[in-house]
Amino acid sequence: MLNALLSIYSTVPCLKKQTYTNKSWEQEKPYKKVMSSFLLLVILFSVLITQSGCGFKLRGNYLLAPELQTLYLSSVDKQGELTRLVKQHLKLNQITVIKNATDITPELRILKDKLDRRTLSVFPNGQVAEYELIYTVRFQLKLANQPAMNFNFEINRDYQDDPNTALAKSRELSLLLSEMRQQAATKILRDMASIQMPSSLALVKPSASSPTVTSTNPLKK
């Protein structure tokens, strides 16, 4: 992490010895360069202090618990688009996804990935003019010596159809579905980042029932 920050530091123009041909830059007051360098050093130092002072590490866009640094991903549709996107998001957040499940490795299970439609309005000839897309996702996170944690959420979109522009509308629908799956993959990572990990997993015995977390506010645009 320190090497990455130093790399960023080295790419800032005001911090490197360079020969500038731009006259406007040569005419800048020296104190502005000094202040820019000072502010950047303060920011870098603050990031290092924040990461070294807690039990979490910055992983992409999310703060993930150390217990989730390595996990096994399973899905009802191993070749599905959502499974591919979730795996991609995990790797972007520097999470190691192993190929074979073990008793001590957390397991992320995608249990449901379903798209439904609900008619909102119709044309005079009876064809659907507008309908609502309802994308339902259910997944589960299983930790060692812990009951499985179940999550459910929906992503909703309104879509207006037009039989006169079938090809364009088909492309629009494809892009819309891709966007919904991208949002679902992001939501899964966000839910994982919100999990409060116990201080010692080995000391916690699994209970008779599994907790379920349901999104009460469907994601909709």
Question: How many structural domains does the chain have?
Answer: 2
Do 85 and 179 sit in the same domain of this protein?
A: yes
pTM above 0.85, yes or no: no
Do 147 and 78 sit in the same domain of this protein?
A: yes
Do 185 and 215 sit in the same domain of this protein?
A: yes
Residues linked to residue 139 through DSSP beta bridges, in sequence order: 110, 151
Residue 149 has a pLDDT of 93
Q: Which amino acid is at 3?
A: N
Residue 95 has a pLDDT of 92
Do 165 and 190 sit in the same domain of this protein?
A: yes
Residue 88 has a pLDDT of 94
Do 71 and 161 sit in the same domain of this protein?
A: yes
Residue 42 has a pLDDT of 61
Do 70 and 112 sit in the same domain of this protein?
A: yes
Q: Which two tokens stand for residue 32?
A: 């502005």
Do 85 and 188 sit in the same domain of this protein?
A: yes
Q: Which amino acid is at 10?
A: S
Instruction: List the chain pLDDT tens, one digit each, 221 residues.
Output: 545 544 554 554 544 444 445 555 455 555 555 556 666 666 765 655 444 444 444 445 677 788 999 999 999 999 999 999 999 999 998 899 999 989 899 999 999 999 999 999 998 988 888 999 999 999 999 988 889 999 999 999 999 988 888 888 889 999 999 999 999 999 999 999 988 776 544 333 443 444 455 554 455 54
Residue 167 has a pLDDT of 86
Tell me the residue range of the domain where 29 lies.
2-52
Residue 91 has a pLDDT of 92
Residue 64 has a pLDDT of 75
Residue 210 has a pLDDT of 44
Do 164 and 201 sit in the same domain of this protein?
A: yes
Reduced to 3 states (helix: H, G, I; strand: E, B; else coil), residue 77 is: coil
CATH number, domain with residue 118: 3.30.160.150
Do 30 and 132 sit in the same domain of this protein?
A: no
Do 26 and 80 sit in the same domain of this protein?
A: no
Please name which of 156, 113, 168 lies closest in space to residue 132, comparing C-alpha atoms: 156
Do 100 and 48 sit in the same domain of this protein?
A: no
Residue 133 has a pLDDT of 95
Do 44 and 12 sit in the same domain of this protein?
A: yes
Residue 25 has a pLDDT of 45
Strands 70-75 and 107-122: parallel
Q: In 10 A of CB 59, how many CB atoms? A: 18
